Amino acid sequence: MSPGYPRPTFEDKIVAPEDLVEHLRKHHIARPLVFTNGCFDILHRGHVTYLGQARALGAAMIVALNTDASVRRLGKGDDRPINNLADRAAIMAALGCVDVVTWFDEDTPIERILQCKPDVLVKGGDWPVEKIVGYAEVMSWGGSVHSIPFEHARSTTALLGKIRSL
């Protein structure tokens, strides 16, 4: 970026779902485009390792976060998420490996996947490739789908259990 021009802040990476397609076009988000999603409630080493590995599969990466209501419907506990959507989005956007952060209120991210048509769809190792939401769609337009094995066995639920036991 040339001197004299303001650098975009990490908040500029946070894009409302209704603005996602226009943002990708306007900002010339690079391809191949990687897409992943999740709660990312309390960011830990397992998350950042996974996100870095996912980003390495393409030139840019979109992370779609579950809204607070969507997290609650997943049955992770009445007090989840610990961090609200705005906080989770800001933390995710601050990561260098993340190019765009958006969200979804539905039970799955299929609408965001259909909006941005990623070249690469990624989830963590607990997801068999064929069970990843968007698998058929991404494969139909010539993309690839990956399940990245866990390198660091971490869990927000386990971390919260440990904190509560102290």
3-state secondary structure of 130: helix
CATH number at residue 103: 3.40.50.620
Q: Are 142 and 117 in contact (CB under 8 A)?
A: no
Check whether 1 has a pLDDT greater than 60: no
Residue 3 placed within a domain: no
Residue 150 placed within a domain: yes
- For 58-98, the pLDDT digits (tens) are 999 999 999 999 999 998 878 889 999 999 999 999 999 99
pTM, to two decimals: 0.90
d(CA 150, CA 152): 6
Residue 74 placed within a domain: yes
User: Residue 158: what pLDDT?
Assistant: 76
Q: Give the range of the structural domain holding residue 105, as residue numbers without chain letter.
A: 10-165
Residue 5 placed within a domain: no
d(CA 38, CA 53): 15
Token couple for 144? 């690839």
Residue 4 placed within a domain: no
33-38, strands of its sheet edge to edge: 100-104, 60-66, 33-38, 120-124, 144-148
Q: How many independent structural domains does the chain possess?
A: 1
Residue 159 placed within a domain: yes
Average pLDDT score, the chain: 91
User: Residue 116: what pLDDT?
Assistant: 97
- For 132-153, the pLDDT digits (tens) are 999 999 999 999 999 998 776 6
